[in-house]
A and B are shown apart, each in its own frame.
Chain A
Amino acid sequence: MSKPKIATASLAGCFGCHMSLLDIDERILDLVELVDFDKSPINDLKKFTGKVQIGLIEGGCSTDENVQVLRDFRRHCEILISVGDCATQGGIPAMRNTVPLLECLEEAYCNGPTVYNPSGAIPNDPEVPLLLDKVYPCHEVVKIDYFLPGCPPSADTLFQAIVALLKNEPVDLPYELIKYD
């Protein structure tokens, strides 16, 4: 029987949660015994090879591309997990949510004190993902099965949750592993 597969993605995140996953140190050897990595920045695989058992999502949805990737993950993953405060709450990128989008863009590309932009244009290339009106936590876009908050969630939190799911056990994390910072 082939090993279960795991896929990961970073949407509007800082890759800190992926770094925390690497922080499981030598336990990563145990993890590769248990799973194969499918689409993930860790192995640089760009496309799903098929159905995967567990999807880990870092970051919330800030652009249309984030939403497409998230929906793609939902289609391919049996269990989808929001990892980190950006995925579960919007996090730092969601600080722009209290300011209208046009004001954010004007501050970044026109009015900011350190901006040098003689044309005064706001980037509008089809190659640049389109920003959403707000940054959305993942569960406001697709159904999410588990939440692992933290900035980032500790390596222990990630490892214990993933191993529990792979062993078909309940994800019952102790008090010290559910933290928002």
Chain B
Amino acid sequence: MSNTITFSIDGKEIECKAGRTILDAAEENGIYIPRLCHRKGVSPHGSCRVCTVIANGKPMAACTTPVTPGMVVENDAEEVTAMRKAIIEMLFVEGNHFCMFCEKSGNCELQALAYRFGIAAPRYPYLFPHREIDFGHPDVFIDHNRCILCARCIRTSREIDGKEVLGFVERGPRKKVAANAEHGLRETEIAVGDEAMAACPVGALMPKHVGYQVPIGKREFDHEPIGSDIEKEAKASTK
């Protein structure tokens, strides 16, 4: 088979089809590489850098880097974990993430990654930026306090829902997701059933009227760390 290539992750030999990204190839082999901005089914973005691995000696985003033959990837390494923790802690201090009353708590991927890495408190000073909430739409709202600029909603809305309702505006610390309309979300075609709604990893793009539906103890990440499903599949298939 000429289109199969071999590479290694943490010393483990892995075969995959040519053209696969490191993240996809790892996942197909039961290795979870933590990620935030990446979402199955939409084009990779490579912006959050949580999936950073050391590929042939260089830190690379696993979601955008294709595997090359003989590539040596380090995923479960002290240096890599330290970088990922730093990124997650920075995401916490640069927004306003009040988990104690957030509807997404327990199902939030940012929070789940912090749990997985055992982060009890970020090492950086909190910025407490002033951010707006777009609450004008009858069924949907955007809370920019919680937004981590992963662009999952933007890409999912364009590529899967086929709508042009969201995009980035401004630059640097003022960069934010904005509705493609003069007066915010209420003038767009966004709907509560859109796949974009399910794409938000945090509590930024949220449906109205349905907060706190799942009780504590039954939420997605209450008992098992994020990525456990991928790792479990691998264990089950090797048995």
Instruction: List residues of chain B with CB within 8 A of the CB of A178.
Output: 115, 118, 120
* Structural contact, A181 and B114, CB atoms closer than 8 A: no
Cross-chain contact B126 with A90 (CB below 8 angstroms): yes
Query: B63-71, B95-103, B188-196: which lies at the A interface?
Result: B95-103
Q: In terms of DSSP, what is the predominant structure of the interface of chain A?
A: mixed
Beta-carbon nearest neighbor of A98 in chain B: B130
Q: Quick check: is A35 within 8 A (CB to CB) of the other chain? A: no
Complex: how many Å from CA A94 to CA B128? 8
Whether the Cβ atoms of A176 and B118 lie closer than 8 Å is no
Residues of B within 8 A of A134 (CB): 128
> Do A89 and B223 have beta carbons less than 8 Å apart?
no
Please tell me if the beta carbons of B99 and A181 are within 8 angstroms of each other in the complex: yes
Q: Is the CB of B128 within 8 A of A148?
A: no
Known: A91-B100, A180-B100, A181-B99. A137 touches B126 (CB 8 A): yes
Tally of chain A residues near chain B (CB < 8 A): 28
Q: Which of B92, B100, B223 contacts A92 (CB 8 A)?
A: B100
B121 and A88 within 8 A (CB): yes
**What CA separation (Å) do A139 and B98 show in the bound complex?**
18
Cα–Cα, bound, A86→B144 (Å): 21
Contact B98 A99 (CB under 8 A): no
- CB-CB under 8 A from A85, the residues of chain B are 99-100
Total interface residues in chain B, CB < 8 Å: 29
B contact face: mostly helix, strand, loop, or mixed: loop
Given A92-B100, A151-B99, residue A181 in contact with residue B118 (CB < 8 A) = no
Task: Please state if B120 and A148 are interface contacts (CB–CB under 8 Å).
Answer: yes
Q: Which of B106, B121, B128 has the most CB of A within 10 A?
A: B121
Contact B121 A147 (CB under 8 A): yes
Interfacial chain B residues near A90, Cβ < 8 Å? 126, 128
| Contact A180–B222 (Cβ < 8 Å) | no
Q: Which residue of A lies closest to B105 (CB)?
A: A181
Could you say which residues of chain A place their CB within 8 Å of the CB of B92? 89
Q: Which residues of chain B are near A147, meaning CB under 8 Å?
A: 120-121
- Give the contacting residue for B121; candidates A139, A175, A181; CB below 8 A: A139
Q: Tell me the minimal C-beta distance from A178 to chain B in angstroms.
A: 6
* A175 and B225 contacting across the interface, CB-CB below 8 Å: yes
Give Cα A178–Cα B98 distance, bound, in whole angstroms: 16
Interface residues of B in 87-145 (CB under 8 A from A): 92, 96-102, 105-106, 111, 114-116, 118, 120-121, 125-126, 128-131, 145
Q: Is A149 an interface residue (CB 8 A)?
A: yes
In the complex, residue of chain A having the shortest beta-carbon distance to the beta carbon of B101: A92
| Chain A residues near B (Cβ < 8 Å) | 82, 85, 88-92, 94-95, 97-99, 134, 137, 139-140, 144, 146-149, 151, 175-176, 178-181
The 7 closest A-B pairs by CB, nearest first: A151-B100, A180-B99, A147-B120, A97-B128, A147-B121, A88-B121, A181-B105
Could you tell me which B residues sit within 8 Å of A by CB distance? Answer: 92, 96-102, 105-106, 111, 114-116, 118, 120-121, 125-126, 128-131, 145, 216, 222-225
Q: A99-B130, A175-B225, A180-B105 are in contact. List 13 more A-B contacts (CB 8 A).
A: A88-B120, A90-B128, A94-B126, A97-B126, A98-B145, A140-B125, A144-B121, A146-B120, A148-B120, A176-B222, A180-B111, A180-B115, A181-B102
Q: List 29 A-B contacts (CB under 8 A).
A: A89-B92, A89-B121, A90-B126, A91-B100, A94-B128, A95-B96, A97-B128, A98-B96, A98-B128, A98-B130, A98-B131, A98-B145, A134-B128, A137-B121, A140-B126, A144-B121, A146-B120, A149-B120, A149-B121, A175-B116, A175-B223, A175-B224, A175-B225, A178-B118, A179-B115, A180-B111, A180-B114, A181-B100, A181-B106
